[in-house]
């Protein structure tokens, strides 16, 4: 038991100690000099700390916590939006273009916005692969046509996430190559292709493998061209026409306000506008088929520009001099005439003569025209109006001659005249990387294009309304993309 004096002394020492601690605490301004034990007790004491803290010290801490929570929530929302909009909402569609010289698969990725409208990005969301030859090359081997699709389908399965295969529609659209074949041959090839497509893993119906009309092909090409140019969904007068030069056919499609026969008229609704289009496919007037037809006609002496050297030799003005293809002979069926052959063609490159022969081919049958005016043969066509894009082989020929996109036809004519006058051996050395058959065609193609666009369609040699192009702003002008746009927006 403490004595009174001892109790007083103890009490005085405790009061003095408390004053020193309080005085030290009040005078301390540097947080690094604070007693670590007292700081730990203060931050962990829930019952009294909230009441003893200085409000000016508490407010920044509360703001910091609130800001941290807000940032975390924003990041969470962003991650959710990114995951569900950029991945889960991406859809795919596949279109296989069965062309005359090759078959190409297009794997198209797109998003669906809040109003369930498709949002296309053909710069980033398009993957393509082509195999040769075209489906029409398998007319005697329909199963081979189906086998040619297997590499394309494997490509498609690599590009589309497996979980989306079953909902990804796949369509096979064959064009002029198959249109040239008999209907029963077309159907045999398509049926073999359907067998492969049914087990592809993608969504497929039998009627999704078909031969489309040339007019439809032209309309699809017009759609993708004007979509790329930003004119689809706007004033029809501001749209751009399309002229395609394929391998087996040529298509001409453009907006026209003129009255026209129903077989040439096509109505397309997009946005708030309905477009009245003229569209027609000129079968046999594609570059490759026209070239072969021209050679046959030259042999048969149908065209006056041909110059006969003697009864079994004719001049070919569209083939470069010095070219030795071997005899272009074909045995006749009759056994009695088995030693007789169709005459040979002598290569004598001449741009003007080739152009004249090409024009005669383009105008063949014009005497049967039942309309006020026919530009190509006896087929109806209203007067061309507005701007035009010339695609496919128009573009490839202009690219070979290194012409500008908006080059005049006069530029192509000058380039063709120079090329056709060259010797074959010199050109082979100059263009060793090119396939000989492709190189050989450029004399004919340059003359044929001038005969088609200028001599037939009456586009002036210095007309600035026409451009040679195969893409707009890195977007390919492929009719298959136009088919996808139209089908997606009409669903």
Residue 250 in marked binding region: yes
Residue 321 three-state SS: strand
Residue 466 three-state SS: strand
User: Which residue(s) pair with 180 in the sheet?
Assistant: none
Which DSSP helix (H) or strand (E) runs through 134?
Answer: none
Nearest alpha carbon to residue 449 among 400, 482, 491, 490: 400
For the sheet with 308-310, list strands across it: 308-310, 313-316, 344-347
Residue 109 in marked binding region: no
Helices (H), 28-136: 36-44, 49-52, 55-83
The C-alpha angle with vertex 25 and arms to 21 and 28, in degrees rounded to 5, equals 135
- The DSSP symbol for 318 reads T
381 touches 278 (CB < 8 A): yes
Task: Note if the bond before 133 is cis, omega within 30 degrees.
Answer: yes
Residue 247 in marked binding region: yes
160's CB contacts (< 8 A; 6+ apart) are 92, 94, 107, 168, 202
204 touches 170 (CB < 8 A): yes
Residue 62 in marked binding region: no
Residue 251 in marked binding region: yes
Q: Is 217 a catalytic residue?
A: yes
What is the spatial distance between Cα 445 and Cα 401, in angstroms, rounded to a whole number?
A: 11
User: Which residue(s) pair with 472 in the sheet?
Assistant: 475
Could you say which of 217, 367, 392, 436 is catalytic? 217
What are phi and psi for residue 235, nearest 5 degrees? -55, 125
What are phi and psi for residue 444, nearest 5 degrees? -65, -45
Which of 157-167 are b and which e, b meaning 16 or more Cβ less than 10 Å from the residue's Cβ?
Answer: bebbeeeebee
251 touches 242 (CB < 8 A): yes
395 touches 221 (CB < 8 A): no
What is the spatial distance between Cα 112 and Cα 361, in angstroms, rounded to a whole number?
A: 48
Binding-site residue numbers for ATP are 247-251
Catalytic residue positions? 217
Binding-site residue numbers are 247-251
């Amino acid at each position: 038991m403490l004595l009174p004096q001892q109790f007083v002394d103890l009490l005085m020492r405790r009061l003095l100690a408390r004053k020193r601690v309080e005085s030290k605490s009040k005078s301390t301004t540097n947080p690094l000099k604070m007693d670590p034990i007292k700081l730990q007790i203060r931050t962990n004491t829930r019952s009294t700390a909230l009441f003893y803290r200085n409000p000016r010290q508490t407010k920044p801490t509360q703001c910091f916590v609130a800001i941290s929570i807000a940032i975390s929530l924003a990041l969470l929302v962003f991650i959710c939006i990114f995951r569900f909009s950029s991945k889960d909402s991406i859809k795919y569609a596949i279109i296989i273009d069965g062309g005359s010289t090759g078959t190409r698969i297009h794997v198209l990725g797109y998003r669906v916005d809040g109003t369930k409208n498709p949002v296309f990005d053909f710069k980033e969301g398009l993957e393509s692969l082509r195999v040769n030859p075209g489906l029409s090359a398998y007319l005697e081997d329909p199963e081979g046509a189906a086998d040619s699709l297997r590499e394309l389908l494997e490509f498609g399965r690599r590009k589309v996430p497996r979980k989306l295969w079953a909902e990804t529609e796949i369509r096979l659209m064959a064009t002029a190559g198959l249109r040239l074949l008999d209907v029963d041959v077309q159907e045999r090839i398509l049926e073999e292709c359907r067998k492969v497509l049914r087990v592809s893993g993608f969504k497929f119906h039998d009627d999704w493998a078909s031969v489309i009309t040339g007019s439809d092909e032209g309309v699809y090409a017009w759609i993708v061209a004007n979509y790329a140019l930003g004119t689809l969904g706007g004033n029809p007068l501001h749209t751009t026409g399309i002229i395609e030069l394929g391998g087996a056919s040529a298509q001409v499609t453009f907006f026209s306000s003129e009255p026209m026969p129903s077989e040439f008229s096509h109505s397309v609704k997009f946005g708030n506008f309905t477009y009245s289009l003229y569209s027609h496919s000129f079968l046999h007037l594609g570059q490759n088929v026209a070239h072969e037809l021209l050679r046959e006609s030259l042999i048969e002496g149908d065209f006056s520009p041909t110059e006969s050297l003697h009864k079994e030799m004719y001049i070919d003005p569209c083939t470069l001099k010095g070219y030795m293809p071997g005899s272009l002979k074909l045995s006749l069926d009759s056994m009695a005439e088995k030693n007789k052959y169709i005459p040979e063609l002598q290569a004598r490159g001449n741009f003007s003569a080739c152009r004249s022969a090409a024009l005669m081919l383009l105008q063949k049958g014009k005497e049967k025209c039942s309309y006020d005016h026919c530009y190509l043969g006896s087929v109806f066509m209203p007067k061309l109006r507005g701007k035009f894009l010339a695609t496919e082989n128009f573009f490839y020929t202009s690219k070979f001659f290194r012409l500008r996109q908006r080059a005049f036809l006069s530029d192509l004519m000058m380039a063709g005249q120079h090329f056709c006058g060259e010797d074959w051996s010199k050109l082979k050395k100059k263009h060793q990387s090119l396939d000989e058959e492709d190189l050989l065609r450029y004399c004919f193609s340059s003359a044929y294009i001038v005969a088609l666009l200028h001599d037939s369609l009456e586009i002036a040699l210095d007309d600035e309304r026409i451009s040679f192009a195969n893409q707009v702003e890195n977007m390919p002008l492929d009719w298959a993309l136009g088919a996808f746009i139209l089908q997606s927006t009409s669903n």
